[in-house]
Every structure is written in structure tokens, then in C-alpha cells.
Amino acid sequence: MPVMEGRSVAERWKADAANRAKACRARGIVPHLAVVLVGDDPGSQIYVRNKEKACEKAGILSSVIRLDADCTQEELESVVKELNEDEAVHGILVQLPLPGHLSEQRVIDIIDPKKDVDGFHAVNAGKLACGQKGFVPCTAIGVMKLLEAYDIPIRGRRAVIIGRSNIVGKPLAMLLLAADATVTICHSKTENLKEITRQADILVAAVGRANFVTADMVKPGAVVIDVGTNRLNGKLVGDVNAEEVSQTAGYLTPVPGGVGQMTIAMLLSNTMDAAEQYGF
């Protein structure tokens, strides 16, 4: 069964962002992503480090603002407000999840939508739902670019997404719908899940549970996109039982080296969109 190599597709997008960053710098604008990291969650530390490395390689300035795990909502919001006002900053990303005492929604609400390179602000979510131009969440757009790179037909096809998060499931449903798929979103309360997933030509797993998708849930020949990043016995694994599903699926994205790579590439691309809108 063919594997969809996120890594090589992502490399092309990263190279494109690097070219755009170079052109931007030549016009006197240094593209700048500010990342806000609260606390010391090990997963978040790794994600943020990877984002920093990717920015550096692409010629995008990144700065990480670290706040203690016990910081207050007001402290966090005042950092974001300062970044909103800072003309040298083009993109703002608040790494999620936040410690439990902080409201993710409230902090996302105050990010300037023009700097919201995560595409999480309600203005950008609304634009996506209405088919207007705006920032689109990186993982969701990354999945679309991966499907595109592999010439996977979408129009008229049945797409099933397992997971209804604002970060992945919902925005990806909007994008697949805009590409003329027939879209179903499944979640923890869905009845007869297997019957639904077995109808999918394109099956997306964004559940957050290791080995959740088994071979009996997959239509033979289906394209299976694994968005999961779970730690199992110290190893990074997806939401799909790859050993089983690779026998049934037509295509499968690997973990690591699949969708995760695309997420970072799309973050660079969104940051360049933000920087180019500034002063052009």
C-alpha cells in the first residue's frame, strides 16, 4: 500500500516559505512569528522547539515568550495584547493546551485576526465557514495540501472525519466541503461508528487515541489520513493501527512523517501570508 510522505511534500512548502521570506527581507521586512508558551508541558515544549527550528531554517524570525504555568489570565492576555500592538510581529501563536485555570477561548478571542496564523479566532473560523479568505488552521490546510500533492480526487467523494475539534475536525470538514466532498463528522457520541467509517473514500482520524482506527473500520482502497500524535510506550504513534490498516487502505499517512510535517509547513506559509500583507 502506498504511503503518503508528508515529509517530502512539506519540504516543498517549506522551501516556498523560505523563498517568500527572502523576498520579504529584501524589501526590508523581517517576517516574525511570536509563540506564547505557558508552563512546561513536555509535548508542547517539543512542538514549540520544532516550530522555532523550522522558522529559523526558512529565514523567519521566531520569538518564544515563556510564561510560568501558574500565570494569570490577565498576564497572558496582556502579553498577547502587546504582540497585537507590536508592528514588528506578523504572526501570533498561543501554544495549546493551556494549564486548566486559563481560558483558551478568551485568549484566542483577543488575538488580532490579522496575526492569527493558527486560524483559531472566531473571525477566521467564520470566514472559513463562509468561503472567505482568512487564516486556516495549519493541520486542516496541511491535510488538503497533502491530498492535492497525491492527486486524490475529492469532488463527490465521501469523506468521514473522526473528531470534531475546532483545531482539526471542524475546519477540515469546511475545506473538504468547499472541495465538493460529501462530509460526515463523527465523534465520541456517534452511534454505529464503524458503519459510517466504512463508507469513507477519505477517512480522517483526529481522535487523540492510539490505535483507535482498526482495519474493520476502513473500506478497502480508502485514503486514510492519520492526524494523531500519541505517546505509546515512549513511541510516537498515530490514531490509526498502521500495521492492520496498511493491509486495507489504498493510501495511509505515516506517524511520524505525515500530517505533522505538513502542519509546520503550513504555519510557515500562514506566517508569510501575514508578513506579506504587512506593508505590501
Residue 96 binding ligand GUN, by CB under 6 A:
yes
Write out the H or E segment, with its range, that includes residue 48: helix 42-58
Alpha-carbon distance 22 to 15, whole Å?
11
- Distance in Å, CB of 215 to ligand GUN, minimum: 28
Residue 94 binding ligand GUN, by CB under 6 A:
yes
Residue 117 binding ligand GUN, by CB under 6 A:
no
Residue 138 binding ligand GUN, by CB under 6 A:
yes
Angle, helices 42-58/6-26, rounded to nearest 10 degrees: 50
- Distance in Å, CB of 263 to ligand GUN, minimum: 6
Among this protein's residues, is 277 annotated catalytic?
A: no
Write out the H or E segment, with its range, that includes residue 182: strand 182-186
Alpha-carbon distance 57 to 60, whole Å?
8
* Dihedral in degrees, nearest 10, Cα atoms 116, 120, 125, 126: -70
Among this protein's residues, is 73 annotated catalytic?
A: no
Number of residue whose CB is nearest ligand GUN? 96
Per DSSP, the three-state class of 220 is coil
Residue 239 binding ligand GUN, by CB under 6 A:
no
Residue 54 binding ligand GUN, by CB under 6 A:
no
Among this protein's residues, is 114 annotated catalytic?
A: no
Binding segment for ligand GUN (CB under 6 A), chosen from 79-87, 88-96, 123-131, 177-185, is 88-96
Residue 116 binding ligand GUN, by CB under 6 A:
no
| Phi and psi, residue 273, nearest 5° | -55, -45
Residue 118 binding ligand GUN, by CB under 6 A:
yes
Taking the least distance from each CB to ligand GUN, the nearer of 163 and 249 is: 163
* Residues 6 or more apart in contact with residue 239 via CB below 8 angstroms: 162, 205, 206, 207, 208, 209, 210, 211, 212, 213, 226, 227, 228, 230
- Residue numbers annotated as active site: 51, 95, 118
Binding site for ligand GUN (CB under 6 A): 93-96, 118, 138-139, 167, 263
